[in-house]
Structure 1
């Protein structure tokens, strides 16, 4: 392949990537014209590139409205990436989590955003006889508990709106509408027995490379021991550790220590 052919091939790949980058959580479906305008490319050329992406399962066309959306192959890629990323951050976070558990004496968990829920992907339980128990792999809600609320607070406006609209409780919807902006500002969420099991918790977001939040660090314990006063005393430390994990996660080649 000569240099000219190589250059054309690179341009085609970049244009295809540009098309894929047009899609967002807010704009998950786009027409040919919208995509063409976004990447500033002729509709005829854009159409040929889209046809190739559709043929390979990266995009699919909705015949109900003639708009394009991500195809089945992107779902497969997403699952692979999710497994890889969750493994990476688990290995990064574990030393921080274990030391934090040993210092505070309460259970420390790592949660991952999964659709409109959260999943526990790592945990160091308290060594005390009375403790809060959550199993690795357990799925919990976003709207209740500090871990869920801190994940929800840092999602896109459309995601938050959709989640709040799905709630049956109007009082909970109003409470979250008022609380989420504060969580965004302070990067800390506190839960006082919200799940009705005598459990209190404090959580802080873990930021990715582009400041996205798909994971959070959470400390929890029985409300009889892990009081609001106790949580206020450690919340800055929880936030600091979450930020250290964020730094390691965003810059894995750098040497970080706790």
Structure 2
């Protein structure tokens, strides 16, 4: 009897994990029917599992249209990066103080970016993204900084031939590949109105002991463009100051190095 209970418990966990995995690259969510089709389970079974996972905040049900990953799962994901966030935070605070713009730390999750930490600009007109939110990997400076570390073939395999336009300025695939070549050549990435109208950003990739991250400055597009060289220099200085700390996993004071 105990063995049967064990097998049933393992099956429930396996099915719950399948639901979570099929939603990891779907920030807008999927319907119950779509989930059931993807993981080849009866809709009634999916409904029971989704209800249980939503009760624990591992999933979030958004009306009749969609089920997406929930806030508890986002917190767990953020906590897996806690060491990097703790190491980077003082440098981000110094970067925001130096430039006056919001600094953000992001990590790629499939075809999207997860925003892990932000230090918000003190200016009245500012961009204030929230940690745990997902952004497009191909229409953001942070995403392009990370995609540029991949080959063009790997990028095409990841994103597919058609990129969904988020604004009139969102690049299509040929333009994105051109942009990535520019990023590899100059060492930083930009976006202007590509992810959201009125928002601009500049980013650099960070190689750490836990993998690749990106550090970006985000603000009103006109302000970012006007301060292009200032922001480029600030990001470069910050990355250089953090290089030894991130590769060794040790702490150091940013005060004298940025």
TM category, shorter: 0.5 to 0.7
1:239: which partner in 2?
236
Matched length = 176
Residue from 105, 108, 113 that aligns with 1:113: 108
1:251: which partner in 2?
248
2:113 and 2:245 map into 1 onto residues whose CA distance is 22
User: Do the aligned residues in 1 keep the contact of 2:201 with 2:224 (CA within 8 Å)?
Assistant: no
1:104: which partner in 2?
99
Structure 2 residue 190 is the aligned partner of structure 1 residue 195: no
1:84 and 1:156 map into 2 onto residues whose CA distance is 30
Compute the TM-score of the two structures, normalised by the length of structure 1. Answer: 0.61
Structure 2 unmatched runs, 5+? 1-75, 166-170
User: Do the aligned residues in 1 keep the contact of 2:218 with 2:224 (CA within 8 Å)?
Assistant: no
1:142: which partner in 2?
137
Trace 1:24-63 onto structure 2 (pairs within 5 A): none
1:93 and 1:190 map into 2 onto residues whose CA distance is 21
Structure 2 residue 213 is the aligned partner of structure 1 residue 228: no
Structure 1 unmatched runs, 5+? 1-80
Q: 1:166 offset after TM fit, Å?
A: 4.7
User: Do the aligned residues in 2 keep the contact of 1:121 with 1:137 (CA within 8 Å)?
Assistant: yes
Q: 1:144 offset after TM fit, Å?
A: 0.1
Judged with a 3 Å threshold, the aligned counterparts in structure 2 of structure 1 residues 179 and 91 are, in CA distance, closer, same or farther, namely same
2:57: which partner in 1?
none
User: Do the aligned residues in 1 keep the contact of 2:78 with 2:132 (CA within 8 Å)?
Assistant: no
Structure 2 residue 92 is the aligned partner of structure 1 residue 94: no
User: Do the aligned residues in 2 keep the contact of 1:86 with 1:112 (CA within 8 Å)?
Assistant: no
Q: 1:156 offset after TM fit, Å?
A: 4.9
Q: Deviations over 1:6-43 (max 9, x none)?
A: xxxxxxxxxxxxxxxxxxxxxxxxxxxxxxxxxxxxxx
Q: 1:157 offset after TM fit, Å?
A: 4.9
2:128 and 2:78 map into 1 onto residues whose CA distance is 24
2:243 and 2:191 map into 1 onto residues whose CA distance is 22
2:77 and 2:127 map into 1 onto residues whose CA distance is 27
Structure 2 residue 220 is the aligned partner of structure 1 residue 218: no
2:104 and 2:78 map into 1 onto residues whose CA distance is 18
2:244 and 2:87 map into 1 onto residues whose CA distance is 10
Compute the TM-score of the two structures, normalised by the length of structure 2. Answer: 0.61
Report which of the two structures shows the higher radius of gyration computed on alpha carbons: 1
1:237 and 1:174 map into 2 onto residues whose CA distance is 30
Q: 1:197 offset after TM fit, Å?
A: 2.3
2:249 and 2:102 map into 1 onto residues whose CA distance is 26
User: Do the aligned residues in 1 keep the contact of 2:209 with 2:249 (CA within 8 Å)?
Assistant: no
User: Do the aligned residues in 1 keep the contact of 2:162 with 2:173 (CA within 8 Å)?
Assistant: yes
